[in-house]
Chain A
Amino acid sequence: MSPPEAEGPGLSAYRRREQSITLSRVEESEIKGTPGDGDGDRAETTDELLTLNFGPHHPATHGVLRLLVTLQGEIVRDIKPIVGYVHTGIEKTAEDKAYWKVIPIVERMDYLAYYFNAMAYVGAVEALLEVEVPTRAQYLRVIHLELNRIASHLIWLGTSALDLGSTSIFLYCLREREMILDLFEMSSGARMHTRYFQVGGVIEDIPAGFAPKLREFLKIMPGRADEYGAILNSNEIVLQRLRGTCPLDAQTLLGLGVTGPLLRAAGNPWDLRKAAPYSSYGDFDFKIPVGTVGDNYDRYAVRLAEIYESVKIVGQALDGLPEGPHITGDRKVALPPRHELATSMEALIHHFKLVTEGFRVPPGEVYHPIESPRGELGCFIRSDGSAKPARVHMRDPSFVNLQALAPMARGSYIADMIATTAMLDPILGGIDR
């Protein structure tokens, strides 16, 4: 094995480009739209456009996002995001496994919204199989989904505040998130990537102490969110950095395919939980926070307000939780309860078939979208009649939302670009899959 070389003819053009930054001189007249006051002296100098490489290792890039930023001084002229640094081949791996076993694979895609990944996938399989999910399971799903939404927004708030310079918010958000992860651990045994949603319902009913602990959390959470608001809402630094920076109108966002809090901050109240309710979301009474201007401050305010709404939804779901089975009774799809295995031969055969081969899904294609904390998360499944899916594609919201970064940040300063990347809430696991 030869020792590593820094440069050399053995490198492909791509690798050589990776190791350099470029500098190009342009005439003043070619650069349009410089912000700031028109300084008479500038007309005599020629400006340079510097292409700077940001990341993939950078504290502010929220994961391994690489940005090629073309700068004129401190003003951003163009951004080219380069992704793929955490590409895991999830979709390819999913083709190799039985439908049931794909759930843990797909959960690890958008690693902050793991219940949402599972929900999109499981919803698509249920659409293909046409199984009914019992109401109790639907309400339990809603509880876990909304708790996960709060947890995802808490990490977003913590890391964004960290980018803006506030370390204490990060620790406060983690304190609340520990409480949510404790609840997840109570219901499923794991803090993250819990494999709790199964085809036809949820894997286990909630234990006895779950409801009181959840009520305690719901009592505390709005007060804590008020604390974050009190620190950040009228903070001089937050206002200077977020108010009026990098706005983008709803029409451009729709053209770019952006959904979720980014679109809602720009004024368009599109939310799949209200527009096309799935999993009993229609039973709950909640509002959709909508912004006005579409700048960074609105994006922050919309997500903070969504935390309160999620708390309301969880409270209503817990109060209205009906009795019933936690998973469909169709034994061809869901495992029979263990005590039946000792007495019923049929249950034993079903168990055996499900565990070894898995259920077969009739051939067809289905696209099932849901509303994740970042936007429309859709799962496309193509089945060919066997026990393994022929194609699983997750339409990840961060992948599509990333295209909006360049239009948003063009013409602003580097610091605004950093704040915009934070407000965009990109999750690289979802972008790269």
Chain B
Amino acid sequence: MLRGSAIEGPNRSAHLEGTELESYVEERMLTTTLDQAIAWARSNSFFPLAFGLACCAMEQFHAAGPRMDIGRFGWEAFRASPRQSDLIILAGRVSIKMAPIIRRLYDQMLEPKWAISMGACCSSMGVFNNYALVPADKFMPIDVHVPGCPPRPEALMHGVLKLRKMVQDDPDMGWRRRYDAVGTEEIIPGA
């Protein structure tokens, strides 16, 4: 039975009305748009693709390791299959033999998907400016470039947090426009 303020039980607030009710609700509930809620969920539970090419993969292990612990942000579920992941962290140097394969992996990932280019070798050609490498921007859209050779786990963390903020702030991120980016199609010789 409802009587004044000395009420016990689950229906304490049943007597509130009007502005009191509104402020009561505001203090206790989070209101948001559906987009923002989804973006919050997405950014806190990325499934990175377990993809390490070279030295940067060692620092990627350390970022997932006990000290730097990428699992604090919910990113520890490295998936083996591109079909189950939504983030590809390109860790290491991309050679011309590997580039079409990475592109195929990226195409196999389900939308929405993001890419972090970790290290100097895949962002630009890094230390090796020669015939054998190709910077990742040439064949796939990259969202965050993390500099370093190899970047410390803290640097990778910084890139990770930046991506997380990007996804949280702008749920759409124009990624469909990005995915249709010009200049990133695979070129087949002779075709």
CA distance in complex: A57, B121 (Å):
19
CA distance in complex: A155, B60 (Å):
12
CA distance in complex: A174, B64 (Å):
9
CB distance from A332 to the nearest CB of B (A): 26
Decide yes or no whether B98 CB sits under 8 A from chain A.
yes
Contacts of B131 in A (CB 8 A): 89, 92
Contacts of B14 in A (CB 8 A): none
Per-residue B-contact encoding for A51-69, CB less than 8 Å = 1, 0 else: 0000011110001100000
CB distance from B55 to the nearest CB of A (A): 4
A108–B55 CB distance below 8 A: yes
Among A4, A11, A155, point to the contact of B58 (Cβ < 8 A). A155
Decide yes or no whether A10 CB sits under 8 A from chain B.
yes
Contacts of A221 in B (CB 8 A): none
CB proximity to A under 8 Å, residues B129-152: 129-133, 149-150, 152
B65–A175 CB distance below 8 A: yes
A interface SS class: loop
Given A174-B61, A178-B66, check contact A87 B97 (CB 8 Å).
yes
B61–A155 CB distance below 8 A: yes
Among B98, B121, B191, point to the contact of A11 (Cβ < 8 A). B191
Decide yes or no whether B39 CB sits under 8 A from chain A.
no
CB proximity to B under 8 Å, residues A1-35: 1-5, 8, 10-12, 15
Decide yes or no whether B86 CB sits under 8 A from chain A.
no
Decide yes or no whether B34 CB sits under 8 A from chain A.
no
Contacts of A191 in B (CB 8 A): 59, 152
Among B59, B149, B183, B190, point to the contact of A1 (Cβ < 8 A). B183
Decide yes or no whether B30 CB sits under 8 A from chain A.
no
Among A86, A105, A171, point to the contact of B95 (Cβ < 8 A). A86
CA distance in complex: A87, B149 (Å):
17
Decide yes or no whether B67 CB sits under 8 A from chain A.
yes
Contacts of B65 in A (CB 8 A): 171, 174-175, 177-178
Contacts of B62 in A (CB 8 A): 174, 177-178, 181
Decide yes or no whether A407 CB sits under 8 A from chain B.
no
Contacts of B183 in A (CB 8 A): 1
| Interface magnitude class on chain A | 35 or more
B93–A88 CB distance below 8 A: yes
Among B55, B98, B152, B187, point to the contact of A111 (Cβ < 8 A). B55
| Interface magnitude class on chain B | 35 or more
Among B50, B97, B187, B190, point to the contact of A85 (Cβ < 8 A). B97
Decide yes or no whether B92 CB sits under 8 A from chain A.
yes
Per-residue A-contact encoding for B114-133, CB less than 8 Å = 1, 0 else: 00000001000001111111
Contacts of B59 in A (CB 8 A): 191-192
CB proximity to A under 8 Å, residues B80-134: 80, 82, 92-93, 95, 97-98, 101, 105, 121, 127-133
Decide yes or no whether B53 CB sits under 8 A from chain A.
yes
CA distance in complex: A13, B186 (Å):
18
Decide yes or no whether A432 CB sits under 8 A from chain B.
yes
CA distance in complex: A148, B147 (Å):
24
Most chain A CB within a 10 A radius of its CB, from B61, B80, B131: B61
CA distance in complex: A205, B187 (Å):
51
Contacts of A86 in B (CB 8 A): 53-54, 92-93, 95, 98
Given A92-B130, A93-B130, check contact A57 B66 (CB 8 Å).
no
Contacts of A171 in B (CB 8 A): 65-66
A12–B53 CB distance below 8 A: no
CA distance in complex: A96, B105 (Å):
34
B189–A56 CB distance below 8 A: no
A192–B101 CB distance below 8 A: no
CB proximity to B under 8 Å, residues A369-394: none
Contacts of A5 in B (CB 8 A): 188, 191
Given A11-B191, A85-B101, A89-B132, check contact A108 B53 (CB 8 Å).
no
Contacts of A64 in B (CB 8 A): 53, 98
CB distance from A90 to the nearest CB of B (A): 7
* Chain B, Cβ-Cβ closest to A173: B65
CA distance in complex: A429, B55 (Å):
8
CB distance from B61 to the nearest CB of A (A): 6
Contacts of B61 in A (CB 8 A): 155, 158, 170, 174
Contacts of B105 in A (CB 8 A): 57
CA distance in complex: A201, B139 (Å):
43
CB distance from A153 to the nearest CB of B (A): 14
Contacts of A58 in B (CB 8 A): 80
CA distance in complex: A12, B183 (Å):
23
B58–A112 CB distance below 8 A: yes
A84–B97 CB distance below 8 A: yes
Decide yes or no whether B171 CB sits under 8 A from chain A.
no
Contacts of B58 in A (CB 8 A): 111-112, 155, 192
CB distance from B8 to the nearest CB of A (A): 48
CA distance in complex: A88, B132 (Å):
5
CB distance from B171 to the nearest CB of A (A): 29
Contacts of B51 in A (CB 8 A): 57
CB distance from A195 to the nearest CB of B (A): 11
* Chain B, Cβ-Cβ closest to A101: B127
Subset of 15 A-B contacts with CB under 8 Å: A10-B188, A12-B190, A56-B101, A57-B51, A63-B54, A85-B95, A86-B54, A88-B54, A89-B132, A105-B127, A111-B58, A112-B58, A155-B58, A155-B61, A171-B65
Excluding A63-B57, A174-B61, 15 further A-B contacts by CB distance (< 8 Å) are: A10-B189, A57-B82, A57-B101, A58-B80, A64-B53, A85-B95, A86-B93, A88-B121, A88-B128, A108-B54, A108-B55, A112-B58, A170-B61, A174-B67, A177-B65
